[in-house]
Amino acid sequence: MGIFDKFSKKSTDKESKEETEKEVEKEVSDNKVIDIKTAKSEDVQAEVNTETVTEKPRTTRFTLVVDCIKELGDKGVIVGGNLHGTINVHDKIFVLHPMFKESDVIEIDGIELLEKDNLGQGEKVEFVSDKRVGLTISAIKDKNKAPKYSVVTNIIPQLTPHPKKPLDNPFLLGLTYEYPRLIQDRMFADLFTFTVFSTGYLTPVELDKQPVAAENGAMRIPQNSRVGFKLLSHPEHKDEKLLAVFTDFAALGKWKALFEDGKSPNSIILNFDKCAEIALHNGGYIINPFGPAPVFVSKHNIEYAQKMKNDMDKKIAEDKK
């Protein structure tokens, strides 16, 4: 994945981060809905989420991408990384990675501040926000249970449509935070690409017909409806448009222009194939364009992800023979 400077550049301090966010917001504030001709209700088989979206995420939400780890024998492990959010000792967490089908709820037993990745030697604290930290986890005895570039979070993953649970993709969210810093690492790049094509994306839509209730209580797009997607101006190529997609409702809530009338927009979950189909007709797509950590996925990157996905699908099919 290549870094797209305007949407994915690394902020070195709070001031530069705020300038980047203002720059992105200025680029997209004047854009209107563009109807994609190929997008009809039969093409987009997704449930419509009508949950109310708040502009700010809960302050307790956090993610940390593990980039170093130390085993403590029977006392567990210490995992280190950059914390995004606020964490407290004894918080309940998940350790997420594609190799795990599910994650048990476990507890943080200790927090230390890191300076030179000397795990076990940092200043002990009871809580901390947005710092480089080490987390002691006694429930994990084997470092392979918290592999490099796994994501530690307190956000419950919800990756499939559910009438009462909005999409939440903390693994992809965690990777986007560290994308500028780690994308040149081959292991991280491959993991990010795998996540890109194996996940779902939340995106706001305009519908020409109101959603209808399904048997499971969810809202669905009526047959023969037309679906309009929100496209943003490409900051470098004004004649190109970019599809806006999101990891969760907290990130979608940062698009303030969508909520000016006090109402939440209709939104659907797109899989990678449908997302790629729309994006390749335009200039690509942006993950969380208004923050907290925007990442641009170019058409070249999409095609690379498609190839990796096809190669993996072929290998899986061959292994089943």
Q: What is the pTM of this model?
A: 0.81
pLDDT digits (tens, 9 = 90+) for 110-141: 999 998 889 999 999 999 999 999 999 999 99
How many whole angstroms separate alpha carbon 149 and alpha carbon 318?
29
Number of Cβ atoms within 10 Å of the Cβ of 315: 10
With 0-12 / 13-18 / 19 or more C-beta atoms within 10 angstroms meaning exposed / middle / buried, residue 228 is: middle
Amino acid letter for position 282: N
pLDDT digits (tens, 9 = 90+) for 211-244: 665 655 556 666 677 788 888 988 777 788 999 9
Q: What is the pLDDT of residue 208?
A: 77
Torsional class of 320: left (φ above 0), alpha (ψ -120 to 50), beta (otherwise): alpha
Identify the residue whose tokens are 């449930």.
47
Please, what are the domains in the chain?
5-58+187-320 (no CATH), 62-153 (2.40.30.10)
Please list the pLDDT of the chain residue by residue as tens digits (321 residues).
333 333 444 444 444 444 434 444 443 333 333 333 334 434 444 444 544 444 433 447 999 999 999 999 999 999 999 999 999 999 999 999 999 988 889 999 999 999 888 999 999 999 999 999 999 999 999 999 999 999 999 999 987 666 567 789 999 999 999 999 999 999 999 999 999 999 999 999 888 767 665 655 556 666 677 788 888 988 777 788 999 999 999 999 999 888 877 777 888 888 999 999 999 999 999 999 999 999 999 999 999 999 999 999 998 888 887
Identify the residue whose tokens are 């203002």.
22
| 27, 111 Cβ separation under 8 angstroms | no
